[in-house]
Structure 1
Amino acid sequence: MSAPESGFGHGTTQSVRRVGHQTVTHAPAPDGWDTGLVPDARGRTTRPDPDCPVETALTAIAGRWTTLVLRELMAGPASFGALRQRLPDLSAKVLTERLRTLEGNGLLIHERLPGFPAVSRYTLTGAGLALRPLLTELYRTGSALQSLTGDTSGG
């Protein structure tokens, strides 16, 4: 199935995307890959590959609540308690899991501050902050899809 106007086509179809009032067209490369979607060899796979930049980005934001935790930390460092207050429906267990995963992926730093009671501070690293444009674009794309499909339920 080809969907060139939406930019969701694969393979050898030509993709078209709108930038403001201009139309930007990406013709397939001689090897058949759409260079707008797949500018280099790392993404030219026929299955999910951890070396693919798209897979790397998706892994960074994977997991329910992860994007919301990242959003809260984009504003600056926060303690565990502050994150719990900002995301009251997120359980302490899941927040701990998400924070550990983000730390393990090099996207945040966990500092234990001296004193009693113990306080932890979470700060995004440069790699974590680099996710801001992705989150912004995901929001923009989700809003566009909701408008196009008439689905505002989020699911």
Structure 2
Amino acid sequence: MSPRRSYDQYCSAARALDVVGDRWTLLIVRELLAGPRRYTDLHADLPGVSTDVLASRLKDMERDGISTRRRLPPPGAAYVYELTPRGRQLLPVLQALGEWGEAELGERRPTDAVRAHWFALPVLRSLEGEGLVEVRLEEGNFHLHVGAEDGPVYGDGPAPGEPDARLVLDSGTCEAVARGELSVADGVRDGRIEVTGDGTLAKVLREG
């Protein structure tokens, strides 16, 4: 475990960057907002990170109280990493950073990696209320826990149980949402996002 580097500045922003300012740390937090993840899953969903750097960042995050590691009971018996309550407090930080970065996104480049669940936080920023939402994209499916105060914020694959709303959108529409050019509500209103479901969220979106 490497010693923590510090800016040695009596400033809360500097102290925060002492903890989460290293390359890859906040993207690991993004992945762990989905709940417990195995090392191999994290490595697969963070293309470009080396195994040594990922292992080092996870150890640093555990030391700094952002994440923990625990062993699953049999038959799984694998180790998983998950955010602590303090680590989950980084959600609004990532959301603000993502909103600020919308102007930098532009069109998808041929070299850009993409995972369906990377659109989870942009879609979440565009939804209000509480409930379980399933999102279906060409790249894959994910689900959102809108308004969740603890536990996972999103997850890969279909929703566990009957969602309050299902959203279906194509890549172009999803990328427009990620760039901040289109809200989910406007996408529904314009017929670019299909909404099904009987929950309050679905009704609000259809009536919006």
* Amino acid aligned to 1:71: R
Partner of 1:39: none
Asked which structure has the greater RCO (Cα within 8 Å, sep 6+), the reply is 2
Deviation at 1:52, TM superposition (A): 2.5
Q: Distance in 1 between matches of 2:72 and 2:34?
A: 20
Partner of 1:126: 85
Which moved further from structure 2: 50-59 or 112-121? 112-121
Deviation at 1:116, TM superposition (A): 8.7
Deviations 1:5-34 (A, max 9, x none): xxxxxxxxxxxxxxxxxxxxxxxxxxxxxx
**Alpha-carbon spacing, 1:93–1:137, altered in 2? closer, same or farther (3 Å):** same
What is the alpha-carbon root mean square deviation over aligned residues?
Answer: 2.7
* Amino acid aligned to 2:43: R
* Amino acid aligned to 2:41: A
After TM superposition, list the pairs within 5 Å mapping 1:43-54 onto structure 2.
49=8, 51-54=10-13
Partner of 2:30: 71
Deviations 1:106-149 (A, max 9, x none): 000111346699621101001000011111111111224x38xx
| TM-score with structure 1 setting the length | 0.56
**Alpha-carbon spacing, 1:126–1:117, altered in 2? closer, same or farther (3 Å):** closer
Which moved further from structure 2: 65-74 or 49-58? 49-58
| Identity percentage of aligned residues | 38
Larger of the two Rg values belongs to structure: 1
Q: How many residues align?
A: 102
Unaligned segments of structure 2, at least 5 residues? 1-6, 110-208
| TM-score with structure 2 setting the length | 0.43
* Amino acid aligned to 1:110: R
**Alpha-carbon spacing, 1:99–1:117, altered in 2? closer, same or farther (3 Å):** same
Give SS of 1:111's match: strand
